[in-house]
Every structure is written in structure tokens, then in C-alpha cells.
A and B are shown apart, each in its own frame.
Chain A
Amino acid sequence: MSMRPGRLRLLLLLMIAILLAACATAPEREPVVDEPAIEEPAEDPIDEDGAIRHTVDNEAVALLWEQAEEARANDEIRSAIGALERALRVAPEDPVLWSRLAELQLEQGEHGVAENFAARSNSLTDHGLLLYRNWLIIGAAREYRGDDEGAREARAQADRARGGD
């Protein structure tokens, strides 16, 4: 992996945000995305294949996702987590919600929680890109905890997931 993990993570997250917004929100809404962020990932091969197709058939999940994104943008992580937890009660098997929660927990410094959430997301998906992203989160969480061996293994899994897509 040639990119710095931190940057990669950001890129993937934004991608998922875009795709979710495009697929899930009510049709009259414009996807809410940071302008400069779109530009950057456009060069990445992961973006080119555009493979993540996450559809949410529930309006409530889309609305809560948007709430969570807004809160996250305002650095209100707790309230973003709250909105995603509510969304999970509506759509308990949504692997993208679990993955985003994992990301937020990682930001909160809850590494163990983040790892478990990412694993939960993995258990609910066989989508290569999402698996890839979750394994990166798991790797980062393990690294923070000083589990270098585990982190390496997670990154190897990430590579496999990405390759298998």
C-alpha cells in the first residue's frame, strides 16, 4: 500500500458518503459533499470502478444518515453517533452504518469498540470495498493498541478484500 493510511481512510469515507447520498436520499435532495474532497479521490482507482452500491430503501435511514453527516461536519461526534445508532434501530443489518460508527469510534479513541463495529460490518457484507475499508479500520485500531502483528494481518486482509473486488 503506497498511500498513507490516514489519507486513504478519509478518501474511502467520502466515497461512501457520496454513494449513500446518491442512492439513498429523497430524489429532490442534492448530495451534500465537500467540494475539494470530491476532486481528490477522483484520481484514485478505487473511485473509478465506483463499485459500492449501497442502497437504502428506507427514508428514515437516509435522513438520519444526513443528520449524522451534518453533526460530524460540525464536530459533534456524540450526536453523530446518536443519529447512526437510531438509524441502526431502523436498519439493523446495514453494514455501512456499522462501518461509519466504527470510524466515529476510532476518532473518539475507542479502539476496541471501533474494531468490533468494523468486524460487525464485515459480518454483514461481502462487498469488497466495504470489507477493505473495515479491515483498514481494524488495522488502525490494532495499531493504536500496539498490536502490530494484528495490524499487519488486518492490512493483509484489506489487500485481499480489495483485490477480490
Chain B
Amino acid sequence: MGALWQHPRAVAKRTSSRNRRKRTPRRTGRGAWIRRLLLLATGFGLAYVLTAFAILDHRVRTEFGQTQWRLPAHVYTQPLELYSGRDLDPEVLEDHLVAVGYRATSAPDQVGEYSRDGDRFRIHARAFRAAHGGEPRRRIEVDFAGGAIAGVRAADGTATIARIEPERIGSVFPGRAEDRVLVRLEDVPERLVDALLAVEDQAFREHHGVRPSAIARAAIANLRAGRTVQGGSTITQQLAKNFFLSSEQTLARKFDEALMALSLEWHFDKDEILEAYLNEVYLGQDGPRSINGFGLGARYWFNRPLDELDLHEFALLVGMIRGPSYYDARARPERARRRRDVVLEAMVVAGAVDADAASVARAQPLDVAPRERVRLAGYPAYIDLVRRQLAAYYDEEDLRTEGLRVYTHLDPRAQAAAEAAVSGRLDALDGGQDLQGAAIIAEVNSGAVVAVVGDRAPRTAGFNRALDARRQVGSLAKSAVYLAALGQPQRYTLATLMDDAEFSVDLGGGDAWRPRNFDGEFPGEMALIDALAQSRNVATARLGMDIGLDAVGKALAALGVNPGRRLHPADLLGAFGRTPLEVAAMYQTLAAGGFDSPLSTIAEVHDAAGEPLARSPLRVRQALPTESVFLVNHALHEATRTGTARALTSLLPGRAVAGKTGTTNDLRDSWFAGFDGRHVGVAWVGRDDNLPAGLTGSAGALPVWADMMRDLPAVPLQASGSGGIEWARVAPERGRSLPDHCTDARRLPFLAGSVPPRDRDCREQMLRLP
């Protein structure tokens, strides 16, 4: 067996020498028979080992060689635009400067420094390249007043527009599903490597992947102790195990692990193996997420980048390799501390540090950061969408390039607003219930996605509800019904009287569909604008059946949410599922006056040298007549004033917004989709198990939406399409329009030419016969 643990070339040598030895010898008949049997067995054994090696070697070369040695793509936020008049808090600028590594000084002489004197910033800005070109290195001065930028000036005092470089928010391997804080060997502090080798594999630089003597020693120690006390695995073996194999400890696994270690050493050099190990090693468990690699480990345990750690912290990290939960520095600080000190001692013995340094380190506390302060992966839900869009829309060849830089549209301010809104509102809503939530914010004009939240604990990577929770949309679908109707101005205007009285649709075979209003009432007639604003089910169903399911299907398709099958009557009230991302795309089209833009996270992709490889340019496509959309949007604005979303008058006072609540059967899903002139946002609240959440759209998702919009700049609704619109005062119950002086009467927009015939008097004249 011993030969198996050696380098394959050594195996071959040894076997042949053994064969030679065996050729010299006694020649009895029985002996010859045994010899032949032995030879045969050796042959089979050898063939087996070689085959196993060939298979494992192939795996090592293909899987490991392809994925591991590529540099990850770095993902960035959008740059921070600074221009006079921008609605921006000075704290946002300062946070951003700090996040991208600017230093505060009293006199910013060096590049990368800034000073702040109340509302005045002086910044010695770095040069950078990002999406939409770059910025030169230069000095700028930024003044704030009243929560907005009052002026941006260049060094010579002229007005200018400037940008601060984007913040790096993560690294991804375009082809792989996890996100890690990857480190490169040259960026890893030497002390950490010293500590690692002193404890885990002192002969790392010399061996060929396995060390039979260490294995034998470990085996003896384990036998004596009656349990596993020593590993005896080299770093290469540990890497093979972490990278390719499950953690179960069987002899067969050990065998595979050893062969793979040999193969790794054969194909890759020591530095490559070490770097991979540093990025693979298992260092903890954060709920469902395993903490792999020292980069992420440093974040998880100390909430600091690896290169800022000190000796005692390196020693603790290395000590935990042996058993991250057994030596959990948060749960078992005493045990972790003893382990750390063992590592320090081993470093002294190995000559990696002197005794004085080690005793200074021993005197330090553990310095582990409280879990709640740790910001692990910045924006898991957003980065998840970036990764998917990279894979879906970009050339695979481009993505193979090393060290890509991916510039996204992520706006940290909007993202923070969305995260706080989802977790804050959900915490306030449920007393220990299993509510979950998701939110998305995009720019109306461009479809640029600026924020994604996929979990009420937004830093948790896992099920990304914003992209993957496909839930019934309920009343959100009604906008399409009214859009289809208002596209027929001779039959329907916002002033058309609708019948909200009970009715049923014959589904054939004796079945009937009887839509009911949410409040159970059937109040009779109301103007079309109010039927949408108040989300009347019966009136909407009747309207939809009237204009026909085909027409509604077309409108849904134009909004990008056609169910992809023949519509059922119940689809008029949203009996089909869509994800929050898809709903956001639907309402983006409305918000932009019928012009649809793909919802995109990625602005540009550059190679490592900063050369643009691919860019997602601004694209709009007219999907709907802009005038009909104007009318629907007017009704959606009415919804936020007097309809089901009227709570917004107090939640967002003074803001002109439009939007639609959505509630599904038994209160399983609570939706709100809405927009102002700049941003379109969608919020969803419900339960993962699809049990009733007990919330209407206005009780659950609407406040979440309001909270996130509150932190974004207030931009009035767009007036797209108003060119083809006529305004008139109306008396819907009479089916007439009125003279302009009838200021008591309601004023509504109409498609040009569809204003109802005008009465001469404000009130209906009763003819009285004496």
C-alpha cells in the first residue's frame, strides 16, 4: 500500500525494482505458482491504480484547471455623480468617499484625500475609468445646501460636473454560483502563510502532495487515542478534499484524495496550490452559507479585510481550520483562544515568529467582531442578478477574460433605502410570523436596476425572492385591462360609467365564474377611473369580458407579462404568477409612457486593463400608444390619492406618484407596484409556504414601497403623451362634459377627440311644469 501514496513516477520505479528482485530466486513448482498469482494480482492492482489515477487526473485538470486559476470578475456600483442641483445628502458623499478609500485630512494635498468643512468638501479626486468613460485626476470643490448640491467647481473655479469612482461590491466567477472574497497569493500577508504552514503542513514546499510518514504517524496517534486526533493530510490533500470530494472519511475517499493530491502537484506549482487552498479552506458556517477562504473568513470573523489583520488574528483563523464549529470563536471563545495560542507556539517552534512577538500576540483578546456588525457579502440579491445577466447576455468568450470589471447600475443609496424598508416594515408587521419580502427599484427611463432585495434579511444569500418568487399578481393585472379598454376611445374613456353589480361568466359545462369585490359590496355604477383606482373586481371583470380576453392578452403581452396561454376570465384579476422582477418590468413600461426598456443591472464590462468589452446601451422600444398609457397612469395616480393606495397621501405627503395595490386570494400575496418620474419600484410581502399572510396590498407591500421611495429624490410623474390629450370637466353620471367654469366638476384627461359632448350648464336643468 505504501507505494500508492507516492508520486506516480516513484510508483513506477519502485514496482520495476521489486520485479527485478523477484526474478532472482528459488524455483520450486509451488513457489512458481504463487509467484505467478502474485504477479497477476500486482498487475491488476497496478492497472486499477493507474485507471483511477487517469480518471481523477482528468478531473483535476479539467475542473480545477479551468475554474480555479482564473481571476474573478470584480463588480462595482455606479459612480457617484456630482452636479449642481442634485438632490443629495452630504453624508452620502462622505460615506461614498470613505467606502472607496479616500482619507479625511485638513488639507487634501494628495490624491485620494478630502476635507470637509460643514457643507463644503474639497476633494483631490482620483482618475478612474468606468462606464461612460472616465474621469481625470483633479481637485474639485463641492458645496451643499438644503440636502442638495449647491455647486461643483474645478480648481480654476469654473462650474463642472464630476464623478467619484464606483465602489467595489464583490467578486464573481461568472461561471460559478457562489460569491467569495477572493484573494491572490501576492496580496496575502506572509504572516498568515507562515502560520498556516507551521500548523498544517511544515514540509509543504518539499513534498509531492502526500507524506506517507505523516500519515503513518497520524494513524498511530489515532489508534492510540481511539479517535481522530491527527490529520496527517498535506495542504494539497486538504485542497483536493475541499475542492472535489465530500467530507465523509472513508478509506476509498482517502485514496482518491491522495491520487488527486499527486495529480495537483504534478500539474500545478506550489504557489498555485497554496493560493487555491487559501480561497477554498472552510472557516465557518453562517446559517446555510459556508464560509470558504481567508478573504471571506476575515470578513466573517473580524469584519475587516485580510490584509489589515494582525498576528493574533491570523493565528486564530489558522487555528480554526481544524474545526470551525468546535473552535467557534464566538460561541466558544476560551477553546478558540487556547487553539490560537497553540498555533502561535507552533509558529515559534517552526521559527516563523520570535518568542517575543508570539507573547505579545498571546496577550491580545480574540478581537472577533459581533455577528450582527458583520457585512458579509454586500448585496447578494443584486449580485445574483448581475451574475445571471452576465451569463444570459454576454459573450462567453468575453467572460473568460481574466479580471473583468463589471460596472453596474447599483445605487447604494437606493439599495440601502430598499433594504431598510423591507426589513423595517416586516419586523413591524409580524409578531414572529414567517413573513418574507422582496423589492426592486429601477430607473423609469433606462430600465437600469438600482436596487434589489430578495430577503427580509437583505445580507443573506439564499432564495432570491425578487427573481425567483413567482406569485400570483392579483390586481396588478388590472392595469392591462384598463389599458386595453382605453385604447378604444369611442367606447371607453376615464369618465365612462361602469357597472359594478354582481354578474357571472359562464365557463361552460355548467361552471360559472362569479367575481366578488374585496369588500363584498356591489355598489352599482362608478366612473371607469374610480373602478381602477378603487380596484373593483366585478367592474374590472365585466370590462375585461366586454372588450374581450384577446384584447387584454395583447395589452398584457405589450407589458411583457402575457401568461403565455389562452387567458381565462380569472386572469383579468391576475390569477397568474409573476416574479417581482417581471412585475417591475411591467410597470416600467407604464411609467415610461409605454416605452419599454430591458431591466438591466450591467452598464459596462471592461477587461483587466480597463478597455471596454461590452456595454448595455440605453434602449427604449415603444410597446404601447403613449396616450392610452397616460390615461391609465392618471387613474393609477388617482389610486394613490383617493383609491386603494390613498394611504400614500400620509406616507408620502406632497409626492406625486402612481401605483397599484395587489392582493391575492385569502391574502396570500401583498403587492405594490408604483412609480414617480424617476423610479419605478415593486414590493412584495408574503410567505414562502404560500399560506395566507393576512395582509392586503395596502397593508403589507404599500408601506414598504413608501418607505423606500421616501429616501429617493422626489421627481414628479412624467407627462409622456400629454400632447395628444385633451382635458375636460365632466359629469360622468350624465355622460357629458361641462364648461370650464364648472369648477366643482371633476377634470379628466381624454384622448383627443373622445371628450364627451358638452352641456352648457354646470347642473342638470330640471324642467318644471307648473
Residues of chain A touching chain B, judged by Cβ–Cβ distance below 8 Å, are: 26, 57-60, 63-64, 79, 81-83, 85-86, 88-90, 92-93, 101, 113, 116-117, 119-120, 122-126, 131
**Sample (18) of A-B pairs whose CB atoms are under 8 Å apart:** A59-B85, A60-B84, A60-B161, A83-B132, A85-B446, A85-B618, A89-B443, A90-B83, A92-B443, A92-B678, A92-B718, A93-B677, A116-B595, A120-B592, A123-B594, A123-B595, A123-B723, A124-B718
Q: What chain B residues lie within 8 Å of A83 (beta carbons)? A: 132
Give CA–CA (A60, B148) in the complex, Å: 14
Knowing A59-B84, A120-B622, A123-B720 are in contact, say whether A26-B595 is a contact too (CB < 8 A). Answer: no
- Give bound CA distance, A88 to B722, whole Å: 20
B353 at the interface (CB under 8 A from A): no
Chain B, residue nearest A63 (CB): B161
Q: A126 to chain B: which residues have CB within 8 Å?
A: 722-723
The chain B residue with its CB closest to the CB of A86 is B132
Is A63's CB under 8 angstroms from B132's CB?
A: no
Q: Which of A60, A63, A88 has the most CB of B within 10 A?
A: A60
List of 6 A-B pairs having minimum Cβ-Cβ separation, nearest first? A60-B83, A126-B723, A123-B626, A82-B132, A123-B720, A92-B445
Given known A-B contacts A89-B446, A123-B626, A58 and B621 have beta carbons under 8 A apart: no
Q: Is the interface of A mostly helix, strand, loop or mixed?
A: helix
Say whether, besides A59-B84, A88-B445, A116 and B133 are in contact (CB < 8 Å): no
State A8–B581 Cα separation when bound (angstroms). 43
Residues of A within 8 A of B620 (CB): 116-117, 120
Contacting pair A89 B81 (CB below 8 A): yes
Bound-complex Cα distance A49 to B446 (A):
34
Cβ of B593 under 8 Å from chain A: yes
- The CA-CA distance from A131 to B618 in the complex, in Å, is 21
A26 near B159 with CB under 8 A, answer yes
A126 and B722 CA atoms in complex are apart in Å by: 8
How far is it, in angstroms, between the C-alpha of A26 and the C-alpha of B159 when the chains are bound? 8
In the assembled complex, which residues on chain B have CB atoms less than 8 Å from the CB atom of A89?
81, 443, 445-446
Taking CB atoms, residues of chain B closer than 8 Å to A113 are 619
**A113 (CB) vs chain B CBs: closest residue:** B619
**Are B718 and A119 interface neighbours, CB within 8 A?**
no
Answer yes or no: B160 CB below 8 A from chain A CBs: yes
A79: chain B residues at CB < 8 Å are 133
Q: Do A60 and B723 have beta carbons less than 8 Å apart?
A: no
B721 within 8 A of A: yes
- Among A59, A93, A101, point to the contact of B159 (Cβ < 8 A): A59
The B593-626 residues at the A interface (CB cut-off 8 A) are 593-595, 617-622, 626
The answer to whether the Cβ of B444 comes within 8 Å of any Cβ in the partner chain is yes
| CB–CB B720/A124 < 8 A | yes
Contact of B618 with A93 in the complex, beta carbons under 8 Å? no
The verdict on B557 contacting chain A, using a C-beta distance below 8 Å, is: no
What's the Cα separation between A26 and B720 when bound, in Å? 28
A51 to chain B minimum Cβ distance, whole angstroms, is 16
Provide the main secondary structure of the chain B interface.
loop
Question: Which residues of B are at the interface with A, using a C-beta cutoff of 8 A?
Answer: 81, 83-86, 132-133, 159-161, 443-446, 592-595, 617-622, 626, 677-678, 715, 718-723
On chain A, the residues within 8 Å of B85 by CB distance are 57-60
B84 and chain A: residue at smallest CB distance: A59
Q: Tell me, in angstroms, the Cα distance from A88 to B448 when the chains sit together.
A: 12
Minimum distance in angstroms from B714 CB to a CB of chain A: 14
Q: Please, which residues of chain A bring their CB within 8 A of the CB of B593? A: 120, 123-124
Assuming the A-B contacts A116-B620, A125-B723, are A82 and B133 also in contact, with contact meaning beta carbons closer than 8 angstroms in the complex? Answer: yes
B444 to chain A: which residues have CB within 8 Å?
92
The distance in angstroms between the C-alpha atoms of A63 and B83, with both chains bound, is 10
Residues in B whose Cβ lies below 8 Å from that of A26: 159
Given contacts A82-B132, A119-B622, are A93 and B595 in contact (CB under 8 A)? no
Q: How far is the CA of A90 from the CA of B626 in the complex (A)?
A: 22
Residues of A within 8 A of B617 (CB): 81, 85
In angstroms, how far is the closest chain A Cβ from the Cβ of B656? Answer: 13
Which of A85, A88, A125 has the most chain B CB within a 10 Å cutoff? A85
> How far is the CB of B87 from the nearest CB of chain A, in Å?
11
Interface centre among B159, B594, B618 (most CB of A within 10 A): B618
Q: How far is the CA of A79 from the CA of B129 in the complex (A)?
A: 13
* B83 closest partner in A (C-beta): A60
Nearest-neighbor residue (CB-CB) of A127 within chain B: B723
CA distance A85 to B620 in the complex (A): 12
Q: Indicate if the CB atoms of B83 and A59 lie closer than 8 Å.
A: yes
A117 and B620 alpha carbons, distance in the complex (Å):
7
Residues from chain B with Cβ under 8 Å of A124 in the complex: 593, 718-720
Taken together as a complex, chains A and B put the C-alpha atoms of A119 and B595 apart, in Å, by 9
B630 closest partner in A (C-beta): A123
Tell me the smallest distance from the CB of B651 to a CB of chain A, in Å.
24
**Within 8 Å CB of A120, what residues of B?**
592-593, 595, 620, 622
User: B83's contact among A57, A58, A85, A123, by CB below 8 Å, is which?
Assistant: A58
> Considering the chains assembled together, what is the distance between the CA atoms of A81 and B615 in angstroms?
12
| Contact partners of A60 in chain B: CB under 8 A | 81, 83-86, 161
| Bound form: Cα–Cα A126–B720 in Å | 10
